[in-house]
Amino acid sequence: MNKIETAKLAEEIVKNKLKDAEKGHDWYHIDRVRNMALEISDTEGGDKEIIEISALLHDISDAKFNGGNYEKAASESREILKNINFNKNKIENVIDIIDNISFKGGISINKVKSLELKIVQDADRLDAIGAIGIARAFHYGGFKNRVIYNPEIKPQNYSNSEEYHKSESHTINHFYEKLLLLKDLMNTKKAQEIAENRHLFMKKFLEQFYNEWKSKK
């Protein structure tokens, strides 16, 4: 099997697994992350075979969809990589990316990141900001039946990932708790450049949002 066939097989598995997922994590999210990761790699380098497969698998193996079970997530990815005949020498590189890509409530793990992890993580983070990031945040809020905004509930700093994922906060707070922090967390120069414009767009959005909120009083 050549590289293109391997990626195609991975695509099919991912599309099938995500068909019932919350739609902020649908196939188009995966496809955007894959394309963005490959685009960043054009400038920053890295092994494109590892980058593409990791981007394709990064959310199906997410512990969020496995009842918070990280072990299960990793063993499932290993199984898929075996089934699609992915290059054996690179399996552990892919698992490392899938295991470490998540924001996990912003807790910084002192982890030495491979270039490929840096790139796929940047691509995933870029998809959480800008116009698409805004759309995904409100979609997620709706999925969890959260209020859009409540001026009495201020943003919080979470001390661990469990607290972060359990938070019942309104969606505007999510901008302060995560989305506006992402620009400065980009690993690569190319992603930092792309993030700049998306970040400004979110700030403009918030400014407009508060103006409209006030004007209704």
Interface ranges with ligand ADP (CB under 6 A): 24, 62, 64, 102-103, 124, 128, 133, 136-137, 140-141, 167, 171, 174, 178-179
Span near Ni ion by CB under 5 A; candidates 39-47, 53-61, 91-99, 153-161: 53-61
b (16+ CB within 10 A) / e for 103-135: bbbeeeeeeebbbbbbbbbbbbbbbbbbebbbe
Report if residue 59 touches Ni ion, rule: CB under 5 A.
yes
Span near Ni ion by CB under 5 A; candidates 42-50, 86-94, 119-127, 184-192: 119-127
Residue from the set 76, 96, 124, 177 that interacts with Ni ion by CB under 5 A: 124
Query: Quick one: 9 or 53, whose CB is closer to ligand ADP?
Result: 53
Q: What is the DSSP string of 39-87?
A: HHHHHH---HHHHHHHHHHTTTT-GGGGTT-HHHHHHHHHHHHHHTT--
Q: Which residues contact 204 (CB under 8 A, 6 or more apart)?
A: none
Q: Least Å distance between CB 208 and ligand ADP?
A: 18
Report if residue 52 touches Ni ion, rule: CB under 5 A.
no
